[in-house]
A and B are shown apart, each in its own frame.
Chain A
């Protein structure tokens, strides 16, 4: 069944209608010269051109999240609840790569036993995707089987066309939002193929080599990793900006009266990540850590789930202070050209 579709004047007009319907909205806004997802109250605050510095994952998987609290009694300990998730929110203007990233996180956190703190936040988010008509130099969604107008992870997808904006209703949650928008949307259909083709043509050609998952597994012992990692600083930026990276640490914050247990983002690029209490470290050098990142995304995950754990947003390539390009390193290692 093809999704129900509507037409609207513009993405801005859809956002105006969502705000008018009283919805809480988080959308890209300009902050200190960078784009970031933030709470907006007026449609004009949203900046709908360009890519946000960090991905949209934060709303569902925040940098710091309180899992529960505790109070020291005398005697005993009293457990206190975890964070109260934010009110139901429309996450507006999410690029197809970021929306697909949320779909991957849904798979990880939703797999049994499910992660309750993630699901509690996620259940309150409606994703309004926005197709990409101006790809960036580092974009690579087509290399990982997505496209600038892909629907994965969106509840509604907006695609700007010459005659206005096409609205695809993809889930029941999307349909429920449409019901609130009244006149702003009119039933109608349009073909987004031309927009897709134009955006894809504007992207730098990138492709993953055939058989990459097996090739990388076979290249586990290759020298290529040491060569690549000689440049990597182990700063973790790549993981923090990535829409699919989900590693976390669990830490306590406390005083004499009580405290809370938090989960905080972590990254496999840090030397302490796998360090045992005994001092032994299974990934003792940056080569092993960089290899872990590349293999998790392009070998271990695809072998289990049939697709890369990368949505091709290109952020890691763009943000890396050492100019590392994971697509290039993975392809080189798999080809055994270290």
Chain B
């Protein structure tokens, strides 16, 4: 019978990279070559990743649609499924179903200055759209990147952050919370909203992509508003618990909106209009 709604594709773990002590990135390739060629997604979409025997978890697709032949996810160790996924090594098989959800409005971002702000594991969805934009660099104005974490040891994508910092056509800043800097730290020290205010990006013709823990989003939005950004200029993602990804399991709604279908990407203006239940 047809069960493909919930049946994952089998994927091979092609690469395992540790970003921090508890965040790992897996690169996955399709075991079915036909799927490898036909699979398409947009930056901002998410997927369900299966550890057979334990269950499935939702992560955004952290790679960019411009990086073909594989998908990557970066996940933080939190519980049962993420523990099981950490037990996989290169060559092992796991499950993947997706992509689901809407995506970052890259077409609307064309021609604008862009500010990318990622806090902690929130840098994963930012990475997808950021790499997508960097691979189409000429279509955008100034690009500013702010990658923050609690401490230097918690900063994800460190190699890439260094590579972005070295580029002359982007401004890339990394920051850690006060007290989180360690020997030889060469970035900023300060909470993301404070560092953001110091960077003072101009709201004129600018779009902001903002992802991270709820508390960071909350205070960053206050700072952005102070600097003159409107709710329509700020794009973020929501994370609600999900079991289906297709609007059936009734778990991810905020008011009448289903994060799995109507999101996970929303503008700050859209979020302000929802019941405050996330």
Residues of A within 8 A of B (CB): 67-68, 70, 72, 75-77, 79, 81-85, 108-109, 111, 113-117, 119-120, 217, 220, 245-252, 254, 258-259, 261, 263, 266, 268, 273-278, 280, 282-283, 288, 292, 295-296, 299-300, 303-304
User: Is B247 interfacial (CB-CB < 8 Å)?
Assistant: yes
Measured CB to CB, the closest approach of chain A to B25, in angstroms, equals 18
> Is chain B's interface secondary structure helix, strand, loop, or mixed overall?
loop
Contact yes or no, A81 B10, CB < 8 A = no
**B54 contacts which chain A residues (CB < 8 A)?**
252, 254
Across the interface, which residues of A come within 8 angstroms of B2, CB to CB? 116, 119-120
Given A72-B52, A274-B240, are A79 and B277 neighbors across the interface (CB < 8 Å)? Answer: no
State the CA gap A280–B1 with chains docked (Å).
Answer: 38
In whole angstroms, how far apart are the Cα atoms of A246 and B258 in the complex? 15
The answer to whether B5 touches A114, judged by C-beta atoms less than 8 angstroms apart, is yes
Q: How long is the Cα–Cα vector from A231 to B24 in the complex, in angstroms?
A: 44
Tell which of A75, A109, A274, A296 touches B248, judged by Cβ atoms closer than 8 Å: A109
- B253 contacts A249, CB within 8 Å? no
How many residues in B have their beta carbons less than 8 Å from beta carbons of A?
43
Q: Which of B54, B91, B255 counts the most A-chain CB atoms under 10 A from its CB?
A: B255
| Interface residue B38 (Cβ < 8 Å from any Cβ of A) | no
* A277–B3 CB distance below 8 A: no
B-to-A contact residues, CB < 8 Å? 1-8, 10, 50, 52-56, 78-79, 82, 91-95, 213-214, 239-241, 243-244, 246-251, 253-256, 275, 277-278
Q: Pick the contact of A67 from B6, B91, B92, B214 — CB < 8 Å?
A: B6
* B250-A113 in contact (CB<8A): no
Sample of 4 more A-B contacts, CB < 8 Å, known A268-B251, A300-B255? A79-B7, A116-B1, A261-B55, A277-B79
B5 touches A115 (CB 8 A): yes
- A296 contacts across to B, CB distance below 8 A: 250, 253
Closest CB in chain A relative to B273 CB, distance in Å: 11
Q: Find out whether the CB atom of A283 lies under 8 angstroms from the CB atom of B277.
A: yes
Q: Are B6 and A263 in contact (CB under 8 A)?
A: yes
Given contacts A70-B52, A254-B52, contact A79 B241 (CB under 8 A): no
Closest chain-A Cβ to B20's Cβ sits at a distance in Å of 16
**Taking A115-B248, A252-B52 as contacts, is the C-beta distance between A81 and B1 under 8 angstroms?**
yes
Q: CA–CA, A111 to B246, complex, Å?
A: 9
